[in-house]
Chains A and B, each alone.
Chain A
Amino acid sequence: MASDGAAVFAPTGGARRFRANLLVVLAVVALLLALIPLIAVFGYVFVNGIRSLLSLDFLTQDPPADLSATGGGVRNALVGTLEMTGLASVIAVPIGLGVAIFAIEVGGGLARAARFLIDVLSGLPSIVVGIFVYATVVVTQGHFSGFAGSLALAIVMLPVVTVSAEEILRLTPRPIAEGARALGLARWRAILSVFVPIGLSGIVTGVLLGVSRAIGETAPLIFTSLGNNFFTLDLNQPMQALPLLIYRNALNSAYASARDRAFGAALLLILIVFGFNLVGRWLTARRRLAGSRR
Chain B
Amino acid sequence: MTESARAPEQRGALDLAGLRRRRWTGDLAFRAILSALTVAITVVLGLMMIESFISASPVYQKFGIIGFVTGSEWAPSFTIYGAWPFIYGTLVTSFLGLLIAVPISVLIALLLTDLAPARLRGPLGIAVDLLAAVPSVVYGLWGLLVLVPAMRPLEQGIAGTLGRVVPFFGPPTPGSSYFAAGVILAIMIVPIVSAVTREVFASTPRIQREAVLALGGTRWDVARTVTLPIGRAGLLAAVVLGLGRAIGETIAVTLVIGNSDNIGKSIFSPGFTLASVIANEFNEATETLHPEALIALGTVLLVVSVIVNAVAIGIRNRFTGGSRSGF
Contact = CB atoms under 8 A, between A and B. Distances in A.
B251 A181 contact: no
Interface string B44-71: 0110110110010000000000000000
A188 B124 CA distance: 39
Interface residues of A, number: 98
Interface stretch (B72-80, B100-108, B156-164): B100-108
Interface stretch (B171-179, B259-267, B295-303): B295-303
B130, B278, B283 pick with most chain A CB within 10 angstroms = B130
A219 B305 contact: no
A247 B218 contact: no
A216 B135 contact: yes
Q: For chain B, which range describes its interface: under 10, 10 to 19, 20 to 34, or 35 or more residues?
A: 35 or more
A122 interface: yes
B86 to A, nearest CB: 12
A119, A136, A270 pick with most chain B CB within 10 angstroms = A119
A67 interface: no
A277 to B, nearest CB: 5
Contacts, number: 282
Nearest to B212: A7
Contacts of B42: 110, 113-114, 117
A181 B139 CA distance: 49
A243 B135 contact: yes
Given A33-B104, A102-B37, A132-B48, A273 B11 contact: no
B23 A116 contact: no
Nearest to B218: A20
A274 B130 contact: yes
A119 B26 contact: no
A38 B104 CA distance: 14
A204 interface: no
Interface in A16-64: 16-17, 19-20, 22-24, 26-31, 33-35, 37-38, 40-42, 44-45
A114 B38 contact: yes
A111 interface: yes
Interface string B1-35: 10011001001101100010011101101110111
Interface stretch (A91-99, A140-148, A226-234): A91-99
Interface in B258-312: 274-275, 278-279, 282-283, 295, 298, 301-302, 304-306, 308-309, 312
Given A120-B309, A127-B250, A102 B133 contact: no
Contacts of B33: 98
B111 A28 contact: yes
Nearest to B291: A131
Nearest to B209: A5
Contact of A7 (B37, B213, B247): B213
B51 to A, nearest CB: 7
Contact of A127 (B110, B194, B217, B278): B278
Nearest to A97: B37
Contact of B8 (A122, A136, A187, A269): A187
A115 to B, nearest CB: 8
Contact of A266 (B51, B138, B219, B279): B138
B31 A106 contact: yes
A158 B41 contact: yes
A90 interface: no
Contacts of B249: 125
Interface string B209-252: 00001111111111100000000000000000000110111110
B136 interface: yes
Nearest to B31: A106
A31 B128 contact: yes
Given A186-B27, A246-B138, 19 more contacts: A10-B216, A20-B218, A30-B107, A38-B130, A105-B34, A110-B39, A111-B38, A114-B38, A116-B313, A120-B306, A124-B305, A131-B278, A181-B11, A185-B23, A188-B29, A217-B136, A246-B141, A247-B251, A281-B126
28 contacts: A4-B117, A5-B218, A5-B219, A7-B214, A7-B216, A7-B217, A23-B219, A30-B103, A30-B108, A41-B142, A116-B313, A119-B309, A123-B308, A123-B309, A124-B305, A125-B298, A128-B52, A135-B55, A186-B22, A186-B24, A216-B135, A217-B135, A219-B251, A246-B141, A266-B137, A270-B138, A273-B133, A273-B134
Interface of B: 1, 4-5, 8, 11-12, 14-15, 19, 22-24, 26-27, 29-31, 33-35, 37-42, 45-46, 48-49, 51-52, 55, 103-105, 107-108, 110-111, 114-117, 122, 124, 126-139, 141-142, 145-146, 187, 190-191, 194, 213-223, 244-245, 247-251, 255, 274-275, 278-279, 282-283, 295, 298, 301-302, 304-306, 308-309, 312-313, 327
Listed from nearest, the 5 A-B pairs whose CB atoms lie closest are: A10-B216, A216-B135, A188-B30, A20-B218, A123-B305
